[in-house]
């Protein structure tokens, strides 16, 4: 069935501190002129171990006293298979937690009941092109998209969210996200905390108006350029920011930064080190103790928390500590004075853990976790000539190598060969914010070139902001993090917070930073995405295709 082209505009009404803001967005046609068939039929030869419906819909939820809040949410319903594998996350607007095992075959029937097009991306999962949730595969209201794939990933904490071009930010912000947890035999042998001791912690920032309605992009173009920041933190879709845990027990906390643009410098208030056992798509080879961890947008960490010597009635508080975010923080403060009381890079509370019960369990922290099996740079076909992708702004437009989004466009430098290993260098510097003729544009918010150059590492040579790089379809290893171009104020405030071990799909680049990644293209040919996971940057076009052939 060929998708119908849709030429209309979609309006989303969101409150703004007592006033109503109407944001007009172009509702792109399904494939921008490249029609494809909806995958809306069942493959009778695919024997699914788990078959479930995932419905995106509008609803109202009681987050605060008084008016209910209008949200969009995923609802799961198991049709065939173990019903405990799709678990509702409390009374949250967030989607269900889907727990699967490597080697299982799953069928997901995504039903779109939203007033606009959507599609679901399985973030971090190794799946064929037609199951990845590419924007060209969006479906309209009332349509169904069928995913059928085998779980090929290692044990890890993954997630799922919408991926329609130009609308990912508002759809995720309205509530569409959920955890996708994979286990395997290697992880099971470690006997890590499970059941009630395996606890999700989804971090999101949001703003609400006086009627308890979500506020989004209330600063218009500046919020798109900078990335939207809320003024309060929600944990698992809950505004009270609390967890109730037991004294005498060990826990595994699975942290997901599900925010649109905000990233965090996570630390325990009392100075207790964070013990990290997993990052993105894998367990680490051994636990890592850190004073704090930088958690970029879409990144995940698994934290070991030992409460065996914490008395009942005590409390632990997690904070985001102060750091220098570069241009993103500067512009957010300059343009939003008085509107946001939770500036990026400031210190604020994230989570309170009330140890208000007692219990016991026998989980012990293993000193050896998962075999790393890091890719060998000597096997890379371009070891001495990495592909380079520069993230920068050009003439008020976020770009990758000076290019912006094309629905099915792909260049030679974005085309790779199946069954090869490559090194990619991702660079967060370069480019120019605007041409000389544009210096007085945008209502004069940058007055002259001298103002742009006066702060190296934040504004010099272009509008440099932090960018979380994400690639679809695979997990990579970090070979090298080059910080020689990072302003010392930025680097000194974050330098102990990065985890470069394990298998990852998202990496945070501070302004001026570059990273070398090694990755292998295997199993599936097709068109996949790489992009900035600041969702407002992504929606503006800081996203490109790469092709495996």
Tell me the per-residue pLDDT of 341-359, one tens digit each, with 9 for 90 and over.
Answer: 799 999 999 999 999 999 9
Cα separation, 506 vs 501, in Å, equals 12
Question: Quick one: 244 exposed, middle or buried, by C-beta within 10 A (0-12, 13-18, 19+)?
Answer: exposed
Q: Distances from the Cα of 524 to the Cαs of 57, 152, 220, 530, in angstroms?
A: 32, 12, 40, 16
CA dihedral 117, 123, 126, 132 (to 10 degrees): 10
Asked if the model's pLDDT at residue 450 lies above 60, the reply is no
Lay out the sheet containing 120-123: strands in order across: 86-87, 97-101, 178-183, 156-162, 120-123
- Write out 428-487 in H/E/C secondary structure: CCCCECCCHHHCCCHHHCCCCHHHHHCCCCCCCCCCCCCEEEEECCCCEEEEEEECCCCC
Asked if the model's pLDDT at residue 128 lies above 60, the reply is yes
| Mean pLDDT of the region 426-438 | 61
Asked if the model's pLDDT at residue 217 lies above 60, the reply is yes
Name the more confident of 40 and 528. 528
In contact, 532 and 429? CB cutoff 8 Å: no
Asked if the model's pLDDT at residue 473 lies above 70, the reply is yes
Asked if the model's pLDDT at residue 325 lies above 70, the reply is yes
First to last CA, the chain: 26
pLDDT band at 431 (very low <50, low <70, confident <90, very high): low
pTM: 0.88
Name the more confident of 173 and 222. 173
| Mean pLDDT of the region 294-315 | 97
Cα separation, 432 vs 451, in Å, equals 13
Partners of 481 in beta bridges: 515
Closest CA to 145 of 134, 153, 156: 134
Question: Quick one: 103 exposed, middle or buried, by C-beta within 10 A (0-12, 13-18, 19+)?
Answer: exposed
- Of the listed ranges 42-56, 81-95, 212-226, the one predicted with least confidence: 212-226
- pLDDT at res. 463: 62
Contacts of 236 (CB under 8 A, 6+ apart): 89, 90, 92, 94, 200, 201, 202
pLDDT band at 17 (very low <50, low <70, confident <90, very high): very low
- Mean pLDDT estimate for the chain: 87
| Mean pLDDT of the region 220-239 | 90
Query: Any idea which residue has 């006066």 for tokens?
Result: 454
- pLDDT at res. 37: 54
In contact, 277 and 251? CB cutoff 8 Å: no
- pLDDT at res. 341: 73
C-beta neighbour count of 387 within 10 angstroms: 16
CA torsion through residues 113, 114, 118, 123, sign: negative
- pLDDT at res. 455: 36
Partners of 422 in beta bridges: 519
- pLDDT at res. 394: 84
- pLDDT at res. 526: 97
In contact, 205 and 231? CB cutoff 8 Å: yes
| Mean pLDDT of the region 66-73 | 96
Name the more confident of 267 and 14. 267
Length of the chain: 549
């Amino acid at each position: 069935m060929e998708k119908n082209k849709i030429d209309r505009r979609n309006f989303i009404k969101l409150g703004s501190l007592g006033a109503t803001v109407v944001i007009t967005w172009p509702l792109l046609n399904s494939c921008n002129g490249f029609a494809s068939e909806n995958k809306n039929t069942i493959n009778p030869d695919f024997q699914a171990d788990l078959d479930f419906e995932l419905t995106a819909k509008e609803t109202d939820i009681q987050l605060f006293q008084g008016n209910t809040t209008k949200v969009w949410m995923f609802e799961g319903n198991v049709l065939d298979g173990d019903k405990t594998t799709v678990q509702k996350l409390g009374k949250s607007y967030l989607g269900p937690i889907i727990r699967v095992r490597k080697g299982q075959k799953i069928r997901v029937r995504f039903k779109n009941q939203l007033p606009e097009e959507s599609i679901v991306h399985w973030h971090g999962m190794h799946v064929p092109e037609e199951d990845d949730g590419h924007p060209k595969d969006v479906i309209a209201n009332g349509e169904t998209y069928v995913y059928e794939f085998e779980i090929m990933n290692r044990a890890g904490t993954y997630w799922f969210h919408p991926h329609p071009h130009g609308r990912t930010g508002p759809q995720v912000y309205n509530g569409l996200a959920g955890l996708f947890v994979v286990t395997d035999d290697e992880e099971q042998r470690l006997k890590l905390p499970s059941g009630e001791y395996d606890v999700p912690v989804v971090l999101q920032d949001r703003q609400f108006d006086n009627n308890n309605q979500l506020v989004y992009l209330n600063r218009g173009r500046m919020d798109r350029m900078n990335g939207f920041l809320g003024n309060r933190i929600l944990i698992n879709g809950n505004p009270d920011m609390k967890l109730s845990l037991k004294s005498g027990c060990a826990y595994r906390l699975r942290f997901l930064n599900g925010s649109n643009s905000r990233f965090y410098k996570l630390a325990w208030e009392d100075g207790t080190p964070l013990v990290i056992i997993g990052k993105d798509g894998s367990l680490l080879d051994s636990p890592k103790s850190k004073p704090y961890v930088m958690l970029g947008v879409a990144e995940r960490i698994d934290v070991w928390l030992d409460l065996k010597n914490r008395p009942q009635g005590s409390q632990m508080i997690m904070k985001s500590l102060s750091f220098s975010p570069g241009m993103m923080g500067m512009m957010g403060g300059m343009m939003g004075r008085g509107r946001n009381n939770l500036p990026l890079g400031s210190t604020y509370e994230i989570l309170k853990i009330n140890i208000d019960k007692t219990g016991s369990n026998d989980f012990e922290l293993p000193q050896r976790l998962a075999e790393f099996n890091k890719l060998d740079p000597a096997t890379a076909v371009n070891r001495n000539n990495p592909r380079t992708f520069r993230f920068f702004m050009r003439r008020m437009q976020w770009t990758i190598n000076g290019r912006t989004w094309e629905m099915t466009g792909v260049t030679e430098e974005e085309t790779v060969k199946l069954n090869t290993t490559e090194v990619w260098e991702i660079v967060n510097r370069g480019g120019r914010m605007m041409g000389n003729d544009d210096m007085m544009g945008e209502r004069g918010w940058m007055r002259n070139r001298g103002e742009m150059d006066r702060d190296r590492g934040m504004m010099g040579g272009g509008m440099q902001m932090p960018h979380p790089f994400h690639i679809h379809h695979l997990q990579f290893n970090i070979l090298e993090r080059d910080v020689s171009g990072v302003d010392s104020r930025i680097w000194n405030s974050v330098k102990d917070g990065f985890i470069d071990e394990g298998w990852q799909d998202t990496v945070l680049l501070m302004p001026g930073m570059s990273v070398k990644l090694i990755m292998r293209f295997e199993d599936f040919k097709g068109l996949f995405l790489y992009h900035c996971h600041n969702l407002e940057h992504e929606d503006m076009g800081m996203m490109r295709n790469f092709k495996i052939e």
